């Protein structure tokens, strides 16, 4: 075999190898994302597509995350994602948990919405935190990797999960999600709903997603297979969670771009005691936390767009506690604010996985 033929063979092998091992990111981007239609029962819509491409999409997000490491901001306490006052009080409770501190924290930051088991915090995420998170979400939406609808009723948004087929999962986002749940959402839920979360088994898992409402020209929301290109409202429903936190990630008006302005889209909660419905004006940066089984809805948006981050807490394999714990069965204040060993192991496992 001549030198020329050897060189040709090497080149051909290299070309074939590169072709066979083309990046998962490029292969994922070549897929055609299935069109979402159903506004009810959409959990399994196009399930075959997401199952068939699960491994490819996960690998594509890993590659994309590495590419974006230098382009996207950090998301943690050091980058002021949370309201700094909430960060300070939360750290105090972790270091020195007491009923007195817990009661003061609840009075200062979580307003009772005059409906049992519904609370609101007017400034949960800081404007800086919202802006940084939105940078990540915008970049993820523009990554050209197929993403799955957030849930069975909302069609537009992102699943932020490393275990759900079609979810967005890369180190910075996964770390943010675990950090937000472990350090803030889970202990706050235990504080506000002690009769429903009486064991670490009741809230050990979570599911995070974003949803996007936008005023559209067509609003035929009575159709189960609505073909409008936007979601404008959400009918009354319950969540598959023991506790849900709903965070408005629009920017406050003084910091917002024009597309962040919106009108309408209030949250409506059903008062099971009185039979009345109570609306909450859902302001930018605000968080509303409630029992998942509490019936609620989103009223139609009248102008502009609204963006939300929602996190469901539940037990293993989707278990949702429906019976209240007796007083003596409830977690102590120390147990509410301590990190369960399983949470620490999950965080360590996630970090190790990202270093591979």
Q: What would the pLDDT profile of 67-85 be if each residue is shown by its tens digit?
A: 999 999 999 888 878 999 9
Q: How far apart are the first and last CA of the chain?
A: 41
**Predicted pLDDT at 345:** 45
- Percent helix, strand and coil across the chain, each to the nearest 5: 40, 20, 45
Q: Measured between alpha carbons, how far is 310 from 60 in angstroms, rounded to an integer?
A: 24
From edge to edge, which strands make up the β-sheet containing 296-298? 234-237, 296-298, 267-270, 277-280
Tokens at 118, concatenated:
């519904």
pLDDT digits (tens, 9 = 90+) for 104-139: 999 999 988 778 889 999 999 999 999 999 999 999
Cα–Cα–Cα angle for 103, 267, 114, rounded to 5 degrees: 40
Q: Chain-centre distance of CA 264, in angstroms?
A: 22
**Predicted pLDDT at 5:** 57
Listed residue (157, 199, 165) closest to 311, CA to CA: 157
**Predicted pLDDT at 335:** 96
Q: Measured between alpha carbons, how far is 47 from 45 in angstroms, rounded to an integer?
A: 5
**Predicted pLDDT at 106:** 95
Segments of the chain scoring below 70 in pLDDT: 1-21, 217-228, 254-260, 340-356
**Predicted pLDDT at 115:** 83
Tokens at 7, concatenated:
């060189």
């Amino acid at each position: 075999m001549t030198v020329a033929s050897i060189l040709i063979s090497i080149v051909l092998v290299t070309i074939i190898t590169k072709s066979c091992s083309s990046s998962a990111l490029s292969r994922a981007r070549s897929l055609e994302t299935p069109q979402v239609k159903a506004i009810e029962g959409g959990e399994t819509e196009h399930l075959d597509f997401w199952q068939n491409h699960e491994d490819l999409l996960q690998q594509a997000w890993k590659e994309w995350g590495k590419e974006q490491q230098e382009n996207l901001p950090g998301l943690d306490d050091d980058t002021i994602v949370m309201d700094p006052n909430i960060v300070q009080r939360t750290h105090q409770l972790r270091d020195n948990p007491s009923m007195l501190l817990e009661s003061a924290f609840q009075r200062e930051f979580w307003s009772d919405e005059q409906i049992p088991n519904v609370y609101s915090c007017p400034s949960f995420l800081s404007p800086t935190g919202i802006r940084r998170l939105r940078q990540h979400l915008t970049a993820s939406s523009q990554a050209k990797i197929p993403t799955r609808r957030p849930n069975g009723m909302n069609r537009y948004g992102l699943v932020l999960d490393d275990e759900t087929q079609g979810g967005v999962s890369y180190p910075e986002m996964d770390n943010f999600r675990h950090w937000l749940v472990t350090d803030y959402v889970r202990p706050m839920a235990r504080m506000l709903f002690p009769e429903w979360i009486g064991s670490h088994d009741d809230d050990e898992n979570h599911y995070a997603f974003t949803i996007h409402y936008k005023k559209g020209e067509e609003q035929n929301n009575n159709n189960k297979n609505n073909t409008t290109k936007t979601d404008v409202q959400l009918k009354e429903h319950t969540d598959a969670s023991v506790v849900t936190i709903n965070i408005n990630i629009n920017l406050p008006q003084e910091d917002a771009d024009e597309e962040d302005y919106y009108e309408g889209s209030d949250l409506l909660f059903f008062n099971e005691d009185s039979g009345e419905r109570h609306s909450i004006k859902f302001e930018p940066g605000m968080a509303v936390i409630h029992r998942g089984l509490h019936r609620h809805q989103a009223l139609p948006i009248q102008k502009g767009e609204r963006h939300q981050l929602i996190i469901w807490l539940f037990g293993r394999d989707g278990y949702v506690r429906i019976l209240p714990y007796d007083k003596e069965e409830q977690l102590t204040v120390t147990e509410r604010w301590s990190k369960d060993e399983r949470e620490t192991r999950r965080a360590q496992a996630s970090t190790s996985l990202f270093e591979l």
